[in-house]
Amino acid sequence: MQCMMKTKLLAFVAVVVTNAACGQGTLQFTAHLTSTDTDYTGNGLFTLTGNNFTYDLSVPYGFDQGTIRRGSDLTAPLILDLHLRYCLAPEPYPGTNRGGCFFRGSLALTDGQTSDLVDNQWYVTATAFSTLRGQIVAIPEPSTVAFFGLALGLSLMLCRRRVHHERP
């Protein structure tokens, strides 16, 4: 009987957590910037809450120009010139600080821009002596089914463990 109550409680908690996560309405996106000219890379994390788009981009030192464009071509329509927060010079060898340039900011999007972003039509670019580019893609959210499966699995495991310990 206790085992059944624990199963129901875990299922209820999974439903609450799932609804809380979905109710916030925040979508997360990522981009990995690469180049055909160099070994340099960069990474970006982007969020969309309602129509508020935020970005946080880290690229190697010297790449101090950043843009987001609709489409993969370098001449595609410009959506946003990224705000450079600061650049940090690398330490001399044998230092471990490789330095970098960091962009951070936000933008209120139109419905059309939101649709393009969700459809993976946005690309982020950082330039210096070369160009780093990456497609902005959605980070998949765990599904409701996965949460229920986890709750059920944990409850069955707890019930089974209790049954084995109670046997004489």
* Structure confidence at residue 111 (pLDDT): 95
* CB 134, CB 90: distance < 8 Å: no
161 inside domain: no
List the Cα angle 156/161/163 in 5-degree steps.
95
17 inside domain: no
Per-residue pLDDT band at 58 (split at 50, 70, 90): very high
User: Does residue 15 sit in helix, strand or coil?
Assistant: helix
Adjacent-strand bridge partners of 2: none
Per-residue pLDDT band at 121 (split at 50, 70, 90): very high
The token duo for 167 is 């046997």
- Residue whose token pair is 């994390």: 45
Give the length of the chain. 168
The token duo for 141 is 């959210």
149 inside domain: no
* pLDDT tens per residue across span 123-149: 999 999 999 999 999 998 776 556 667
Give the residue-averaged pLDDT of 4-23.
Answer: 50
106 inside domain: yes
126 inside domain: yes
Range of the domain at 119: 26-139
110 inside domain: yes
DSSP of 143-164, one letter per residue? PHHHHHHHHHHHHHHHHHHHHH
**pLDDT above 80 for 83:** yes
The token duo for 74 is 């370098």
- Per the structure, the count of domains in the chain is 1
159 inside domain: no
Q: Find the CATH number of the domain harbouring 118.
A: 2.60.40.200
Per-residue pLDDT band at 22 (split at 50, 70, 90): very low
127 inside domain: yes
What is the pairing mode between strands 78-81 and 84-88? Answer: unpaired
- Residue whose token pair is 């999007």: 109
**pLDDT above 70 for 46:** yes
Per-residue pLDDT band at 23 (split at 50, 70, 90): very low
Average pLDDT of the chain, as a whole number: 83
Distance CA(7)–CA(2), nearest Å, equals: 9
User: Does residue 17 sit in helix, strand or coil?
Assistant: helix
